[in-house]
Every structure is written in C-alpha cells, then in structure tokens.
Chain A
Amino acid sequence: DADVTQTPRNRITKTGKRIMLECSQTKGHDRMYWYRQDPGLGLRLIYYSFDVKDINKGEISDGYSVSRQAQAKFSLSLESAIPNQTALYFCATSDSVGSLLETQYFGPGTRLLVL
C-alpha cells in the first residue's frame, strides 16, 4: 500500500464549483504540504501544516483553503474553481524529527481540469 494517497486521482469540474482534494498518509509524519505543478513552473507550495490544526500559507494560497483535522489527513479545497486552477496537485509529508536534510514524500498527484 502507498504511504501517501490522494483522492481523486482525476477530476473535471466547472467554473464556480467547490471541490475538495483529499490526502492521507500512513507514514506517521507530522508535516504535510500541498503543491501544484504547472508546465514550466515546477512545483509551487500552496499551504503547509506542521501539526493538527496548524495551517500556514505557502507561495500561492489565494483561491485555496485547507483543513488538518487529523495527523494523517490534509485536505485542499477550491471554494470557487476557476480555469487557471487547472493543474496537477501533489500532497507531500515530512517528519520534523530527522536530519537537516529533511526529505518530503509525495503522493501520486491529482489531475484537476476546470472548465
């Protein structure tokens, strides 16, 4: 079983709709992250959380919100989807108890298309 799972894997929605992307992890990590990937721009950080109920804005948080109700789950919401939110979304986790060179572990991604 995968350590970091994302649902759904693919989603098509219409402009103005509210949608939620879910991320679950079994790694026991306390830190979780949401990124989006766009062609030519790499991965950009949307939100991150150090622990349950802890929420921090990343580089591109406008138009998004998140919820961390449990250590293993971190959900990303688009309150009113718009076409330029069409992208590949990744969830990642990391462990605060570790070496300096802390790596992040990524889920398989959710491909979102907003029409």
Chain B
Amino acid sequence: DQQVKQNSPSLSVQEGRISILNCDYTNSMFDYFLWYKKYPAEGPTFLISISSIKDKNEDGRFTVFLNKSAKHLSLHIVPSQPGDSAVYFCAAGRGQEYGNKLVFGAGTILRVKS
C-alpha cells in the first residue's frame, strides 16, 4: 500500500517554462512534506518542505503547494532550467515522536530541454 504516490514517472519541459510535479498521499496524519532532488550517482538532496498547517511555501524558483482536502501537493519550478533535470522525490513525514520517518514516492524524472 503506497502511502505516497507520484503518478507521473517522467515529465519533459522546455527551458524557461513551468514544471509542475505532482504527489498524492493517503495518510491524513502526515505532519509535513518534502521534495528531494536526485542527480545520477548522487544521493537525494533536500529541496523544499511544507508543514501541514500551510498551503504554500516558496523558495526562489521553487514553490510547493499543499491541498490537504485533496491530499495532494505539487512542486512548481519557474522558470525551468536544464540543470533542473533530475529525479524528484516527494516525501511525507510525521513528528519527531514518530522518529521523523519519511515515506517516499517513486519519483518523477524531469527533463528540461534547452
């Protein structure tokens, strides 16, 4: 039973346009959500996060939106750059009392074409 789902295995976007990566979750007890970015032969690196009490968090070109009623979050990258080409993982977690264990989605491969 996958608690965190990324239904699009891949996404291709033109440089300068918006990239929208989607993530759905089933467990309403998750307290926070994160996006990680992974390049080949490297470990995932933290990109941006959002608490369940917020509906938007912005960091430069990256914005994460959370729709709790729909159990859906999305990552917007504007404008997209070729260096953004990577695998993006959505992850969800509960509070420290639960060990901050994260549940990851399967990932979405983003290709930004120049």
B31 contacts the other chain (Cβ, under 8 Å)? yes
Residues on the B chain within 8 Å of A92, using CB: 43
Given contacts A42-B105, A43-B104, contact A105 B46 (CB under 8 A): yes
Residues on the A chain within 8 Å of B46, using CB: 103-105
| Residue count of chain A within 8 Å CB distance of chain B | 28
Complexed CA–CA distance, A87 and B89 (Å): 17
CB within 8 Å of A: which B39-60 residues: 41-46, 49-51
- Max chain B C-beta neighbours (<10 A), residue from A58, A104, A107: A104
- Shortest Cβ distance from B52 into A: residue: A100
B101 contacts the other chain (Cβ, under 8 Å)? yes
Given contacts A100-B95, A103-B49, contact A44 B104 (CB under 8 A): yes
Residues on the B chain within 8 Å of A50, using CB: 99
Contact, CB under 8 Å: A48 / B43? no
Contact, CB under 8 Å: B49 / A109? no
- Shortest Cβ distance from A95 into B: residue: B100
A12 contacts the other chain (Cβ, under 8 Å)? no
Min C-beta distance of A34 to chain B, whole Å: 12
A96 contacts the other chain (Cβ, under 8 Å)? yes
Complexed CA–CA distance, A109 and B46 (Å): 15
- Max chain A C-beta neighbours (<10 A), residue from B42, B49, B99, B104: B99
Q: Which residues of A contact B (CB under 8 A)?
A: 4, 31, 33, 35, 40-45, 48, 50, 56, 58, 90, 92, 94, 96, 100-109
What are 22 A-B residue pairs whose CB atoms fall within 8 Å in the complex? A35-B104, A40-B106, A43-B44, A44-B104, A45-B101, A48-B99, A58-B101, A90-B43, A90-B44, A100-B31, A101-B49, A101-B50, A102-B93, A102-B96, A103-B49, A104-B46, A106-B36, A106-B43, A106-B44, A108-B41, A108-B42, A108-B43
Further pairs besides A40-B9, A48-B101: 18, Cβ < 8 Å: A40-B106, A41-B106, A42-B105, A43-B44, A43-B104, A48-B99, A50-B99, A58-B101, A100-B95, A101-B34, A101-B49, A102-B93, A103-B34, A106-B43, A107-B43, A108-B43, A109-B41, A109-B42
